[in-house]
Structure 1
Amino acid sequence: MTVRPATTADLGTVADIYAHYVRSGVATFEVDPPTRDELSSRLGGVTAVGLPYLVAEIDGQVAGYAYCAPWKTRPAYRFTVEDSVYVAPHATGRGIGGALLDALLDHCAAAGIRQVIAVIVDADATGSLTLHRQRGFVDAGRLSAVGFKHGRWLDTILLQRTL
């Protein structure tokens, strides 16, 4: 496995991975998959502020991606980010999420980030919660019924890690 910075050439596979989670799950509250142009804009926005946007490859194929984005836009939040980690459905259980999250945390620490927030939907999220807690994230709160997707109200759990 190789973890490296994402490029625009990776966005087709990134779009496919993300579309799976948008359409079939609740790991994201988006209800329509973003276009490749929108993903390109997001990639540019993340990297323009010095934050990591990474992909994991296995045998030369992108099998997952992860990035950190600013938590809020107000200047006092500039040392706090939110992480996102997505693994291709066919590649789960192979350590890809952990490798991506470890690399994100290293990149964030090098960039001077102080706090990393994970917002995890509390529905079928055992893997995401375990992944983050194993890397030192602690529970910071719960937001009840803040999302409505696939015909049901969903809670989110906030986790936080100090770097």
Structure 2
Amino acid sequence: MSELFIREATPDDAAAICAIYNPYIEYTTISFEEKPVAVSEMAERIAHTQAQGLPWLVAEAGGDMLGYAYATRWRVRPAYRHAVESSIYMRQATVGQGVGKLLYRELIRRLAVLGLHTVIGGVAQPNPASDGLHRALGFKQVAQFEQVGRKFGRWLDVAYWQLPLTRDLAEASCN
């Protein structure tokens, strides 16, 4: 693989992000969305996240996008302003190669630099790869809500993972 490069997303990345994300919608229960996202809608999502001062990152190698990760506000009420929810999606062919771990680690580092207090990851179950990623990065599973989503005729559970953000994370490198 070429050298990995992690950078902020731009609206021009929307098509490549849709190419990664839409198969998760169409063929898996990993995303609870049910209809593919249009490129224009994805560009709006990127802009909205970044307008809130939150990162939306992409990982590239050799000019190809391998995955993306971003954070959104956990809840709208003011007292929740120090908590965010993270999302990460990788091109299927890159899952298990360590790229997602590097990308997610950089997202966490940037969230810590912003002075946020905690990051929460929701994982549709079963998803051993995502559960393992969260565990490897120091998240602790704090909840599992049963049968909160329904897709492809199945009831689905969601596990919630939480990571407190510290100064050490803010100072950590991506290595």
Identify the TM-score tier after normalising by the shorter chain. Answer: over 0.9
2:103 to 94, 100, 105: 100
Q: Give yes or no for the alignment of 1:19 onto 2:17.
A: no
Q: Give yes or no for the alignment of 1:2 onto 2:41.
A: no
Runs of 4+ in 1 over 4 A off after TM superposition: none
Which structure 2 residue ranges, 5 or more long, are not aligned? 166-175
Which structure 1 residue ranges, 5 or more long, are not aligned? none
Residue aligned with 2:97, SS? coil
Residue aligned with 2:34, SS? coil
Please provide the CA RMSD for this pair: 0.8
Amino acid at match of 1:133: R
Q: Give yes or no for the alignment of 1:90 onto 2:88.
A: no
- Provide the C-alpha distance between the structure 2 equivalents of 1:122 and 1:162, rounded to a whole number of angstroms: 23
Where do residues 32-111 of structure 1 align in structure 2 (5 Å cutoff)? 32-111=35-114
2:150 to 148, 151, 154: 148
TM-score (ref. length: structure 1): 0.97
**Which residue number in structure 2 is paired with residue 160 of structure 1?**
162
2:134 to 123, 126, 132: 132
Aligned length: 162
TM-score (ref. length: structure 2): 0.90
Cα deviation, residue 41, structure 1: 1.2
Amino acid at match of 2:103: L
Contact 2:29-2:124 at 8 Å conserved across structures: yes
Cα deviation, residue 126, structure 1: 0.6
- Provide the C-alpha distance between the structure 1 equivalents of 2:75 and 2:62, rounded to a whole number of angstroms: 36
Give the share of equivalent positions with the same residue, in percent: 37
Cα deviation, residue 48, structure 1: 0.8
- Provide the C-alpha distance between the structure 1 equivalents of 2:156 and 2:16, rounded to a whole number of angstroms: 28
